[in-house]
């Protein structure tokens, strides 16, 4: 017999599904309403005065008044907020800062306001409810749920609490899930990731785990430690584990490895959360892409990635996007981020409703020779080369080798295999063929003898974990970039002798 909680989740999920259908079937009007509300609420802020919000009547006005900014360009305003000033980017003060690692100049402080905080929780909840509504499966709500996340211990700066987003969100787990949630607060507060995972294994190994959630690479570490301790597949240890929730990276390169670790296939839900907002979640099990959250206080703009660094790049709204184009996503939010470049690139897989996949990072690409290879392309190549084979990989990244000791330059693929290919030459050929078919620039460079075909460097078992530990980024929300236009990661891995 299902519990009252499991029984009640079905009508509630149906109600939420109808609400989502209402706004997702009227996307343009929904975004127009969000846009007008954002401008109205922020017109008396310092940013609003500086950018003439009182004169903005349309998106065209906004585009003229508010240039695209990244964090560094917005920093002067953020620093005033961090110093404790009010009404700078949004009315009043934020209730939190999500502290993230900056790529160029130290920590970034992303404001979270009382208006924006509930949207993070609502979107995560709705992702699970839509899954229940679609599949009818609600039994898992009676079991234990684990969310591999950052420490919920928060610091304070000028009266505003700050920490990792996942640690902040941990304070907002609904009461009806508190008893089901693992690990314990004490374990969740452990800073050292390896110590934390070992403690989580000890706490959960005898429990009825039904949902497991986290970034795939770190969940993999948890699974491997469980198997090492019990000498059983994860699906045998947790017989009722049937739902894996993940975000942050593409799951496909990990799918074969996970199914082997679990011993069976489980349903999965992909999320697209970030410190700056919860942007999308997978709303259908058999549809590619995640439903863009158009009603949660975020106004979206898009710029074609191919033209992003041009002086007069074209900014558009969802009304003008096209399928299959690589866009840089720009956001304005109820946390006070305005025409803000979060650095992600997305592609639309559906326009009715609007669904996206994350195709990469605008700073994460290889274009040492004009090829502009992006994350989505290397992940697709890896998927095609390993599909229906014995090959499984734990992790990989790609870097250009501009000055080889001999021969033409090439792309170096650093791969940590779980099961190596029996025919390595065929594997390389399959990777190469997929990449050339996806990217005509890369194809032309190979054909023109500017580049030679890719070369694989094998990485030792747990080599990527060792690399992340060496740079102080083991665990939490940290992840390996799929590719880079420099050799910082590749050279460090060679230097640490993590190659075979």
Task: Determine the pLDDT at residue 1.
Answer: 60
Assess whether 71 and 205 both reside in one domain: yes
Structural domain contains residue 177: yes
Assign 103 a pLDDT band (cuts: 50, 70, 90): very low
Domain residues for the domain of 257 are 1-297
Assign 104 a pLDDT band (cuts: 50, 70, 90): very low
pTM for this model (two decimals):
0.83
Average pLDDT over every residue of 400-419: 93
Assign 177 a pLDDT band (cuts: 50, 70, 90): low
pLDDT digits (tens, 9 = 90+) for 421-430: 999 999 999 9
Structural domain contains residue 145: yes
Average pLDDT over every residue of 393-407: 92
Structural domain contains residue 150: yes
pLDDT of 355 above 80? yes
pLDDT of 2 above 80? no
Picking from 272, 297, 322, the residue at the C-terminal end of a domain is 297
Structural domain contains residue 326: no
Least confident interval from 56-60, 92-96, 247-251, 352-356: 247-251
Domain of residue 209, CATH code: 3.40.50.12780
Task: Determine the pLDDT at residue 176.
Answer: 65
C-alpha count within 13 angstroms, C-beta hemisphere, residue 38: 29
Percent of the chain at pLDDT exceeding 90: 65
| Count of domains observed in the chain | 2
pLDDT of 172 above 90? no
């Amino acid at each position: 017999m299902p519990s009252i909680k499991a029984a009640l989740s079905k009508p509630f999920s149906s109600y939420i599904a109808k609400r989502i259908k209402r706004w997702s079937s009227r996307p343009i009007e929904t975004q127009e309403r969000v846009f007008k509300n954002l401008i109205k609420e922020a017109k008396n802020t310092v940013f609003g005065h500086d950018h003439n919000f009182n004169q903005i009547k349309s998106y065209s006005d906004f585009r003229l008044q508010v240039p695209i900014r990244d964090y560094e360009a917005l920093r002067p305003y953020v620093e005033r907020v961090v110093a404790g000033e009010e009404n700078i980017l949004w009315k009043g003060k934020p209730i939190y800062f999500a502290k993230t690692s900056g790529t160029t100049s130290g920590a970034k402080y992303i404001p979270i306001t009382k208006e924006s905080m509930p949207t993070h929780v609502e979107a995560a909840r709705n992702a699970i409810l839509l899954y229940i509504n679609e599949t009818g499966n609600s039994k898992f709500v009676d079991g234990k749920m684990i969310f591999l996340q950052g420490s919920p211990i928060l610091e304070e700066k000028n009266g505003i609490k700050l920490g990792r987003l996942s640690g902040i969100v941990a304070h907002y787990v609904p009461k009806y899930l508190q008893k089901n949630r693992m690990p314990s607060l004490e374990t969740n507060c452990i800073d050292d990731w390896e110590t934390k995972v070992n403690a989580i294994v000890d706490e959960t190994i005898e429990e009825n785990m039904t949902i497991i959630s986290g970034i795939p690479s770190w969940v993999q570490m948890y699974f491997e430690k469980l198997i090492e301790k019990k000498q059983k597949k994860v699906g045998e240890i947790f017989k009722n584990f049937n739902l894996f929730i993940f975000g942050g990276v593409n799951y496909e390169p990990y799918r074969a490895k996970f199914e082997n670790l679990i011993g069976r296939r489980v349903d999965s839900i992909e999320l697209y959360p970030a410190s700056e907002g919860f942007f999308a979640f997978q709303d259908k099990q058999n549809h590619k892409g995640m439903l863009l959250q158009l009603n949660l206080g975020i106004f979206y703009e898009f710029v074609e990635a191919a033209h992003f660094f041009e002086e007069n790049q074209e900014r558009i709204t969802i009304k003008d996007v096209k399928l299959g184009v690589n866009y840089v996503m720009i956001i304005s939010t109820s946390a006070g981020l305005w025409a803000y470049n979060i650095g992600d690139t997305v592609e639309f897989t559906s326009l009715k409703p609007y669904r996206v996949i994350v195709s990469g990072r605008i700073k994460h690409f290889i274009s040492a020779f004009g090829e502009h290879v992006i994350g989505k392309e290397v992940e697709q190549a890896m998927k095609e080369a390993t599909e229906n084979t014995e090959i499984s990989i734990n992790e990989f990244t790609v870097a250009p080798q501009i000055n080889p000791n001999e021969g033409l330059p090439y792309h170096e693929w650093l791969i940590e295999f779980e099961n190596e290919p029996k025919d390595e030459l065929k594997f390389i050929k399959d990777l190469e063929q997929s990449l050339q078919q996806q990217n005509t620039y890369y194809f032309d460079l190979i054909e023109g003898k500017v580049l030679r075909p890719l070369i694989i460097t094998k990485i030792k078992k747990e080599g990527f974990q060792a690399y992340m530990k060496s740079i102080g980024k083991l665990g939490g929300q940290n992840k390996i970039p799929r590719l880079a236009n420099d050799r910082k990661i590749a050279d460090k891995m060679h230097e640490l002798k993590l190659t075979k």
